[in-house]
Amino acid sequence: MQFLTGILLLSAGLVTGSLSSNTTTQSPPSLTFLYTAYVDCLPNIYTSYGPFGNRTTIPIVGGNFTGPRMSGRILDVGADWGLTDVQTGIFSADTRYNLQTDDGANIFIRTSGPSQPSGGLQLRILFETGDARYYWLNNVIAVGVLSPVSTTDDGFTLRIDAWHLDSELAAPRS
How far is Cα 10 from Cα 57, in angstroms, rounded to an integer?
Answer: 49
Among 63, 66, 67, residue whose Cα is nearest residue 32: 67
pLDDT tens track for 17-28: 555 566 788 888
pTM: 0.82
Alpha carbon distance 96, 93 (integer Å):
10
Q: Is the pLDDT of residue 8 over 70?
A: no
Query: Residues 26-77: pLDDT tens digits?
Result: 888 899 999 999 999 999 998 999 999 999 999 999 999 999 999 999 999 9
Residue 119 carries which DSSP code? Answer: S
Q: What domains does the chain contain, in order, with CATH numbers?
A: 30-170 (2.40.160.20)
The answer for 53, left when phi > 0, alpha when psi is -120 to 50, beta otherwise, is left
pLDDT grade, residue 14 (50/70/90)?
A: very low
Render pLDDT for 109-165 as a digit per residue (tens, 0 to 9): 999 999 999 889 999 999 999 999 999 999 999 999 999 999 999 999 999 999 999
Long-range contacts: 169-174, Cβ < 8 Å, 24+? 169/136, 169/139, 169/140, 170/32, 170/136, 170/137, 170/139, 170/140, 171/136, 172/69
16 vs 2, 5, 13, 20, 115, CA distance in Å? 21, 16, 5, 11, 47
